[in-house]
Structure 1
Amino acid sequence: MASGTTDTRPLSPHLSVWRWHATMLSSILHRVSGIINYIGAVVLTVWLVLLATGSEGAVEILTTGSLAWLTTIGLIVLTWSVTYHFFNGLRHLAWDAGKGFDPAGSNLRSTIIIGASVVPPAVIWFFALTGGAS
C-alpha cells in the first residue's frame, strides 16, 4: 500500500463483534482441557518416577504434607478435564460422521456437555474425600 493512503478493507472480526454462545465456549474449553491433560500426564509421570525411585519424602509432602491440598485440587481439575475432553470428543466423533451441525442443536449439546462434565468428577471426588460409600 502506498504511503498516505488509507486501507478501506474491513478488519478481522474480534470478540467484541461476536456474540458469545455455548459452542464457542465449548471449543475454548476443549483446547484448555487438552492442555490440562498434557500437563497432568507429565505431573503424574513425575509423581510415579518419585514413587519408583524411593523418594518417600517428596511423595509424602505431596500426598499428606503441606502440599496435599494443592495435589487434591490438581487431581480434581485433572478429573474434570479428562471427563470434559472425553464428552466433547464424543461430539467431535459425531461431527466426523456428519451429524449435529445445526446451530441450535449444537449450542444445546455444548451446554449439556459442559454441565454433564461436572457430574462424574463431583461423584468421584465426593466419595474420595468422604471415605467411600460407607
Structure 2
Amino acid sequence: MASRTPSRPISPHLGIYRWGPHMLVSILHRATGDGMATLGSLLLVWWLAAIAAGGEAYATFLDVFTLSDGRLNVVGWVFGIGLTWALFQHMCSGIRHLVLDTGANYELKGNRLSARLAMAGGALLTALFWFYIIGVK
C-alpha cells in the first residue's frame, strides 16, 4: 500500500484559486467560440434553407428577426448584438492568448490587465460596430 508523503503538494482545484478576470476571459473565450460555432451555424443553415425554399420561407425567417418596416425587433437585436459581441470578445481574447503563447505577459498583474483590456475591447468594438450600423454619430 502506498503511503502519502506529506512534503508533496496538494493538487490545486477550484477551491484553492481566487477568481480573477483572467479566468473569466479564458472561460468566455471558449464559450464565445462554441456559441458562434453552434448558433452561427444554425442561423446560417436556417437562412440558406429559407432562401432555397422560396419567398414565403424567407419571409418567415425575416419575420422572426425584423419588424414590418425592416428594422430589427427584440429578437433581432438580441441575436445581432449577442453574436457580434461574441465575435469581438473572442477576437480580443484570441489576440491576448496569442501574446500568451509567445511566452509573454504571464506576470499576474499584466495578465489581469490584459484580461480586462480584452473584455473592454470586446464591448467597445461591439458598441462601435452597432453605432456604425444604425448610423449613430
- Normalised TM-score (structure 2): 0.76
Gaps in structure 1 of 5+ consecutive residues: 2-7
Q: Does 1:80 align with 2:82?
A: no
What code does the residue aligned with 2:47 have?
Answer: W
2:124 to 119, 131, 134: 119
Pairwise CA distance, 1:62: 1.7
Pairwise CA distance, 1:65: 4.8
How many residues matched?
Answer: 126
Pairwise CA distance, 1:64: 2.3
- Normalised TM-score (structure 1): 0.77
Pairwise CA distance, 1:108: 0.6
Gaps in structure 2 of 5+ consecutive residues: none
Greater shift in the superposed pair: 19-28 or 9-18? 9-18
Deviation string 1:48-80 (CA, Å, 9 cap, x unpaired) is 331243223322322325994213201111101
Distance in 2 between the 1:79 and 1:90 partners? Answer: 17
Identity %, equivalent residues: 33
What CA RMSD, in Å, does the superposition of the two structures yield over aligned residues? Answer: 2.8
Deviation string 1:6-28 (CA, Å, 9 cap, x unpaired) is xx999754433321111111111
Q: Does 1:95 align with 2:94?
A: no
What code does the residue aligned with 2:66 have?
Answer: T
Distance in 2 between the 1:117 and 1:32 partners? Answer: 14
1:64 equivalent in structure 2: 66
Greater shift in the superposed pair: 63-72 or 110-119? 63-72
Distance 1:70 1:89, change over 3 A: same
Quick check: 1:51–1:59 contact (8 Å CA) kept in 2? Answer: no
Distance in 1 between the 2:136 and 2:103 partners? Answer: 42
Greater shift in the superposed pair: 50-59 or 87-96? 50-59
Q: Does 1:42 align with 2:47?
A: no
SS in 1 for 2:32: helix
Pairwise CA distance, 1:126: 3.0
Distance in 2 between the 1:11 and 1:103 partners? Answer: 22
